[in-house]
Amino acid sequence: MSNGESCEPRADATASLALVLRDHSATQSLGRALAEAVTTHAIIALNGPMGAGKTTLVQGLALALGIRETVNSPTFTMMNEYHSGRLPLYHLDLYRLSEDADTVSDLLATELDQFIDQKMIAIIEWADLFTVKASNRSYFYQLDHLVVNLDYVEEVKPSEDKEKNSPSFYMENGRKAKLSAFGAESCTLISGLKRTLKGNLKIL
């Protein structure tokens, strides 16, 4: 495996990657790069505060899959699905669901069970609202999955180094992303991503 990583199946994070996303298009590019790195199957838990860029990332991913429909977060349902691209895309958003973590977590397991073994990408906005709190979280954690945490840059440091490639240059208005693999499949995904990273995606 390149980058010195081993992708043995195990429950703890096996690989990680931190990126600076300078602007909207960088978040979309990360979505695109993720889609291109997936061969046939991926489960992605997408976390981050309100407005961090979660849906933007899903939109980039959908574009790269060749999905023709407009992708927005599901409003009245838990999940939207798209079948016009290279792989089916299941887009879940848990934000508007009740605060009862166990109920939502059961619901999530029931939804995922319907297609989990198929060729597809499942991406779950606000996954940590429920997967972390629920008492049956072991269902989710036994699945090989990639966690993507998006966040605002906490601190705007007056940058002495305004070089174009310096992270501090990009951190003034953008976002950051931390990707962590839980299992062999998602570890391989991160390795693939590292090989293809280019353009506006800068490694932190």
Positions that interact with ligand ATP (CB under 6 A):
21, 23-24, 26-27, 48, 50-56, 73, 125, 173-175
Residue 159 binding: pick among Mg ion, ligand ATP, none (C-beta 5-8 Å cut-off by kind): none
Residue 160 binding: pick among ligand ATP, Mg ion, none (C-beta 5-8 Å cut-off by kind): none
Cβ 33 vs Cβ 148: under 8 Å: no
Please, what is the minimum distance in Å from the beta carbon of residue 55 to ligand ATP? 3
Binding residues for Mg ion, rule: CB under 5 A, are 54-55, 73
Q: CB count, 10 Å around CB of 65?
A: 22
Residue 175 binding: pick among Mg ion, ligand ATP, none (C-beta 5-8 Å cut-off by kind): ligand ATP
Please, what is the minimum distance in Å from the beta carbon of residue 41 to ligand ATP? 24
Residue among 5 and 23 whose Cβ is closer to ligand ATP: 23
Strand partners, 177: 19, 150
Residue among 17 and 187 whose Cβ is closer to ligand ATP: 17
Rg for the chain, CA atoms, rounded: 17
Determine the 3-state secondary structure of 29 from DSSP. Answer: helix
Residue 24 binding: pick among ligand ATP, Mg ion, none (C-beta 5-8 Å cut-off by kind): ligand ATP
Residue among 2 and 70 whose Cβ is closer to ligand ATP: 70
Determine the 3-state secondary structure of 45 from DSSP. Answer: strand
| Closest alpha carbon to 38 in 175, 182, 150, 196 | 196
H helix or E strand, kind and range, residue 47:
strand 41-47
Strand partners, 152: 175
